[in-house]
Amino acid sequence: MSGHGLIEVKDLKKEFTLNTSGVASIKTALLWWRKRNAKKLNVLKGISFQVHPGECVAVVGKNGAGKSTLLSLLARVYKPTSGSIEIRGRMAPLLELGAGFHPDLTGLENIYFNGVILGLTREEMRARTDKIIEFSEIGDHINAPTRTYSSGMLARLGFSVAVHIDADILLVDEVLAVGDYEFERKCYAKIDEFRANGGTILFVSHQMDAVRKVADRCIWLKDGQIHRVGPPDFIIAEYEGRDLDLEEGR
Amino acid sequence: MIAELKELWRYRELLLVMVQRDLKIRYKNSALGFVWSFLNPLLTVGVMTFVYTNFIFKDQPNMGAYIMAAYLPFMFFQMCILDSAQSVLVAMPLIKKIYFPREILPLASIFSNFINLLLAFVIFFAYLLIRYFTNPVTFPIKATAVWLPVLLLITWALATGCSLIICALNTFYEDIKYIMGVLLYLLFFICPVLYFSEQVANSAINHSTNGLIYKIYNLNPIGYLCTAYKKILLDPITVTVRGSETAAADPMRWDYLGVAAVTSFAVLIFGYYTFNRLKWRFVERP
């Protein structure tokens, strides 16, 4: 955690092709050839912003505003339709905890596997496994196949791997509520520690408390565009106020 | 393409772990794990050998070895394509969440099948030696067997190229794998696994076309590879030419092997290029 993490997004656009046929096969492609109606869906319509080293930025907005698409683009799951993303430093996406776990392998084997996907070598993982197991509170179950784990255990193990790989940037998508109150507090403590060491965070949340607690700056996405940028208190007041207006208008 | 290769090299550790995971899952959960994965080819070769030595090639000694020499690489080719066709679809939940070079998924299937092929050849040589010790006539392992790594490399290139193309297509059109199942089944009969390429050369239809059929036949890269494995690993066969005459067996034709090598590496480059062009759209498939 060196405080070098930097995200720079310039005029980012993402367009999806909506397909109504449903199944991907040659048969459907042939049958639907004349009826195909490939609709284009513009999810992100050109957004630009920067996240400076050591900063924590929250992205808020309604469902369908493009928040998760933005995070997926930053995590390089999608390729942008146009525009550019520049990322400096190692990035750990916490998009869905435990997504990379194979049910037939043990917790320990999965720790290695997950760490290597996130860009570490097995050597580096070996030095971290003890800390990861301790933080996750999995205990002796670490040698059992992960198919026997509860969803809480999976989430805890996933979070534990992601915060122990010494990333410069964390991408967080609504995952801080993993497990009980005790563990949640531990997660926040870990995030504070990460920030104190100069780590950069970009996160998406519907929980305004979490945004207020952690973020330095807030980006409000609306219909695929940046609606407002500013200090969290200011933006949240307006964001929640707008929701109130809508409800009053009904 | 160079940038893609560099990226792949950066993720070599992940590929290694994926292959290990693949092999571990394959051999885990059963004490017979290792034997289990060779039971199918051993049984198949056993039955074929019984049928062919007793009913069809009655005067050809050691028919089992000839079948195995070509069947093992053909099986590898087939398993690579069928395994890797599914590899991206199976990992869809993973690749929707996290980035890594997507070609690692089919490559992991290919490499673990390749390790299986190497183990299968160990069994093949063990079989030759056991036969030799029970009936010592001539030492069965020939000097030309040093060419085996070259043949394995060409087979790997061809299998990888085809697998990458099929994997990319199957991710968008899920019925490709059924079509491939049928095509590979047919390809098996076109390749000289259960018979010898000399029989094609000496067939009536080949003579009536002035050898054209044989030339075209040998242009099939996996077909000529099957022939090449038999030729470098085993003694030349005695060919019966229409009736009772016998002719000399066709020697190893390096020009046809060269054609197979060039084709294979061209397919590899084309497959890698195609896969890389399509890989970003995998997560957006309907």
Average pLDDT of B222-251? Answer: 78
Enumerate the β-bridge partners of residue A7: A51, A87
Residue B200 CA neighbour count, 13 Å, CB half: 21
Question: Which candidate, B174, B159, B55, B172, places its Cα nearest to that of B110?
Answer: B159
Contacts of B250 (CB under 8 A, 6+ apart): B197, B198, B201
Smallest CA–CA distance from A109 into chain B, residue: B21
Question: With 90 as the cut, is the pLDDT of residue A88 above it?
Answer: no
Inside any domain, residue A41: yes
Residues of B in contact with A17 (CB under 8 A): 284
Which of A23, A77, A114 to mutate to test binding with chain B, by most B CBs within 10 Å of its CB? A77
Domain boundaries, chain B: 2-284
pLDDT at residue A1 tops 50: no
Q: Is the CB of residue B172 less than 8 Å away from at least one CB of chain A? A: yes
Q: Taking CB atoms and an 8 Å limit, are A99 and B24 in contact across chains?
A: no
For strands A82-88 and A91-94, give the pairing: unpaired
For B94-104, how does the pLDDT look when each residue is reduced to its tens digit (9 = 90+)? 888 888 899 99
Round to whole Å and give the CA distance between A28 and B42.
40
Q: Measured between CA atoms, how close is A173 to chain B, in angstroms?
A: 11
Average pLDDT of the residues in B107-125: 92
- Nearest one of B186, B42, B40 to B124, comparing CA atoms: B42
- Residue A250 pLDDT greater than 50, yes or no: no
Q: Note whether A198 and A2 are within 8 A (CB).
A: yes
Pairing of strands A217-222, A225-230: antiparallel
Q: Indicate if the pLDDT at residue B282 is higher than 90.
A: no
Domain carrying residue A12: 6-249
- The token duo for B84 is 């890797």
- Cβ partners under 8 Å of residue B170, min gap 6: B85, B86, B88, B89, B176, B177, B180
Confidence check: pLDDT of B200 > 90: no
Is residue A23 a part of any domain in this protein? Answer: yes
- Mutate: best of B89, B99, B169, B283, partner A, most A CBs <10 A: B99
Q: For residue B1, which amino acid is it?
A: M
Q: Is B174 on the interface with A (CB under 8 A)?
A: yes
Amino acid sitting at position B9: W
Residues in A touching B21 (Cβ below 8 Å): 102, 105, 109, 113
In this structure, are residues A221 and A59 in contact, taking their beta carbons and an 8 Å threshold? yes
Domain assignment present for residue A1? The answer is: no
User: SS3 for A55?
Assistant: coil
| pLDDT band of A248, cuts 50, 70, 90 | very low
Q: In terms of pLDDT, which residue wins out, A113 or A25?
A: A113
The whole-number pLDDT of residue B57 equals 72
| End-to-end Cα distance, chain A | 48
When the pLDDT of each residue in chain A is averaged and rounded to a whole number, the result is 81
- Residue A40 maps to a domain: yes
**pLDDT band of B266, cuts 50, 70, 90:** very high
Q: Per the domain annotation, does A39 fall within a domain?
A: yes
Distance of CA B8 to the CA centre of its chain: 24
Dist. CA B84–CA B78, nearest whole Å:
10
DSSP 8-state symbol, A106:
B
Element containing residue A218 per DSSP (H, E): strand A217-222
B11 Cα to chain A: minimum distance (Å): 7
User: pLDDT tens digits for B121-168?
Assistant: 998 898 889 888 888 877 888 888 899 999 999 999 999 999 999 999
B44-58 average pLDDT score:
81
Residue with tokens 């969440």: B97
- C-alpha A198/C-alpha A186 separation (Å) is 19
Residue whose tokens read 């720790």: A111
A180-187 LR contacts (CB < 8 Å, sep 24+): A180/A152, A183/A137, A183/A156, A186/A135, A187/A159
**pLDDT at residue number B249:** 72
Q: What is the ipTM of this complex?
A: 0.80
Please report, rounded to a whole number, the percentage of residues in chain B having pLDDT higher than 70. 94
Average pLDDT score over residue span A94-101: 68
Contact B272, B103 (CB under 8 A): yes
User: Which phi and psi (to 5°) does residue A114 adopt?
Assistant: -65, -45
**Into how many domains does chain A fold?**
1
Tokens of A156: 């805890």
Q: Is residue A227 part of a domain?
A: yes
- The residues, any chain, with a CB within 8 Å of residue A18's CB and separated by 6 or more, are A38, A39, A40, A41
- Cα separation, A159 vs A163, whole angstroms: 6
Q: Please, are residues B245 and B216 in contact by the beta-carbon 8 Å criterion? A: no
CA–CA separation, B61 vs B282, rounded Å?
A: 51
Distance CA A131, CA A17 (A): 44
| Token pair for B41 | 């080819």
User: Which of A29, A77, A112 lies at the smallest CB-CB distance from B17?
Assistant: A112
Sheet-wide strand order for A82-88? A39-51, A6-18, A82-88
At residue A172's C-alpha, the angle toward residues A167 and A174, to 5°, is: 155
Contact at 8 Å (CB) between A38 and A19? yes
- Beta carbons of A173 and B96 less than 8 angstroms apart: no
- pLDDT of A42: 86
Task: Please enumerate residues of A whose Cβ is less than 8 A from a Cβ of B.
Answer: 16-17, 19, 21-27, 29, 72, 75-79, 93, 95-96, 99-100, 102, 104-105, 109, 112-113, 116-119, 121-122
* H/E segment holding residue B259: helix B254-278
* CB spacing of A116 vs B28 below 8 angstroms: no
Q: Is pLDDT at A249 greater than 50 in this prediction?
A: no
Confidence band (pLDDT; 50, 70, 90) for A95?
Answer: low
